[in-house]
Every structure is written in structure tokens, then in C-alpha cells.
Amino acid sequence: MAIQGVMRPGHFQMRVLDLEASVRFYTEVLGLIETGRDKQGRVYFKAWDERDHHSLILRGAGQAGVDFIGFKVTDKQTLDRLEADLNAYGVKTERISAGELLETGERVRFEIPTGHLVELYAEKSHVGNGISYLNPDPWAPAAEKGIAPIRYDHCLLYGPDIDGARKIFCEVLGFYLVEHVLLEDGESDLGIWLSCSNKAHDIAFVRHPEPGKLHHVSFLLESWEKVLRAADICSMHRVKLDFGPSRHGATRGTTIYAFDPSGNRFETFSGGYQTYPDIRPITWSSEEAGAAVYYHDRKLNERFLSVVT
Ligand SMILES: [Fe+2]
């Protein structure tokens, strides 16, 4: 097995204002599958082609935003090793016991310098994707309900010290820089796109004065046509689009941005290139930062830089 250490983004806990309205939204519009509810009242979802028990967790709260994001690591030994590596690097960690999240093993939680809580875990119950592992069909009926993304893919987080976050991800957790957008000084970064796999990004950050903010949580679709279909479904449900259907310059993904009923921005996207750790990072100059985000408009709008939860 070549993918070792941190394998992929695995879960994302988000705060929503009206829990039941949000459950309807994420099942009927997004087309995610509800997989459980816990004693704290949190609701768990997976995308149809994900095999593990859940990827999105919603918690009812007075303010929208992100509670924490989790990455799945190869195995328990890797979890122990990465915790020791984080501690040796000066990052304090906390162990959260198995079962605190439904069907999930022990988690190692730490705060990164952008003010976000990040977790690593090695175990989550397998529930499958509704397709057999023997002589499978290409898709299940759930692949046609709502927008029906394949999986939770990444998130874009906003916070002050993105350089400190990048160091932890790249120097301790094995991520690498894929693309970055420079500020006017031509040296420091406005935004960074990091990968732990051969995806163009597994997480991204934009520099922002307030800590712990969410710009968007993103779900993967199979094709540009499905991005258009996602925009159609949003319009059918009177869900306001923030952007698109269009293309990002950075990562080349085709995309729409829209808002859930609590104002959390989500993305459904397709495409983007595959990369490897030996490929040189792509740089966007500050003058072309607009094209990095909105490739056709080539201008950053105020919402991209300021509307976060
Ligand atoms: Fe994204």
C-alpha cells in the first residue's frame, strides 16, 4: 500500500441553526444519507459512495460554522506515531475516547494556528455503499437522489496563521503544497492548497483575521454535467447560488458554491487534476488571485473574502 499516514479527509462536524430543517436540506437537496443520531442530538450523514459510517455530522447550535474536521489515518499504530510526532513538534493533543462519535474509534484532537480543531482517527465502522464487493453494479439508487455527491472531499478554512497551519500539515502530517496564491508583497500567501494524496487538494486555507472560520465544505461529483445538474437542483429548491456553475483556476475544478439554510457555504465540484509530491507547486500572483478562484470572472468578489461562518 502506497498511501500511508494520513489517508484522506474523513469527517466534518458543522453547526447549524435549525437542525431538522438542515437534515431535510442535506438529505433532500444534497442527497446525503442519514446514518445515525446520537445522545447529544447530533445527526450523521454519508455520501452514497462512501463506505464508512459517516462523513458529515450536524450539531444544532446558535451560530453556524465548523466544530472540527477529521482525517482518517492508515491504522492505530500510525495514529500513535502521528500523535507522538505532533507532541514532539510542540503541538498539544487530546485523546477523545472511542464511541464519542458514533461508530468511530479513538480520536487525536489538536488545535492548529488558524484556530481550527483537527482530529486524526484510524477506525470507523464500515457500512458500504449499497453495492456488492462481488460483481458490483456501477451505482446504487441513492446516486440519483438530490445532488448526490460521491463523497465529502475537502474544506476551505479561514484563519490568521495559515503559515503555522501549513507547517503542521506539511512537516508533521505528510501533506505537501500543491498551489498557492500570493499577497501583494509577492512573498506571503493569501491562500494555500495542500494534499495528502494525489488529489489537487485535501484541505485549503485562506488568510483571514478571525480564527476558526469556515469558507466552504466541499463534495465531489462525477462530471461537469453533474455540476450543472447540482445548480439546477439548487434552483428547483430555491437555494441561492453564491457562484457558478463555473471553474476555479486553482485546481481546475468545475464548481458551484451555495449556502445551506444556516448560511454555511458548501461546494459541489468535479474534476481538478491529479498530482504527486514531486510535482512543483503552482503559484498565482496577487494580480491574478481573482482568476485562481473565479477563472472566468478573473475578479475576487467581496463575498469570497468576507462571507464565512
Ligand atoms: Fe473547494
**Known catalytic residue: 126?**
no
**Known catalytic residue: 257?**
yes
**The pTM is what?**
0.97
pLDDT of residue 1: 66
Alpha-helix residue ranges (DSSP H) falling in 37-115: 76-88
Give the residue ranges of the chain where pLDDT is below 70.
1
Question: Given 44, 267, 294, 295, which residue is catalytic?
Answer: 267
Q: How far is the CA of 155 from the centre of ligand 1 (A)?
A: 6
Q: How far apart are CA 88 and CA 180, in angstroms?
A: 28
pLDDT of residue 204: 98
Quote the longest CA-to-CA distance of the chain.
56
Cell numbers linked to 40: 447529544
Q: How far is the CA of 290 from the centre of ligand 1 (A)?
A: 15
Q: How far is the CA of 308 from the centre of ligand 1 (A)?
A: 13
Q: How far apart are CA 162 and CA 191, in angstroms?
A: 8
Q: How far is the CA of 134 from the centre of ligand 1 (A)?
A: 33
**Known catalytic residue: 201?**
yes
pLDDT digits (tens, 9 = 90+) for 45-63: 999 999 999 999 999 999 9
**Known catalytic residue: 154?**
yes
Q: Is the dihedral of CA 134, 136, 141, 145 positive or negative?
A: positive
Q: How far apart are CA 250 and CA 298, in angstroms?
A: 12
pLDDT of residue 305: 86
Question: Given 116, 248, 294, 295, which residue is catalytic?
Answer: 248
Question: Given 180, 201, 208, 215, which residue is catalytic?
Answer: 201
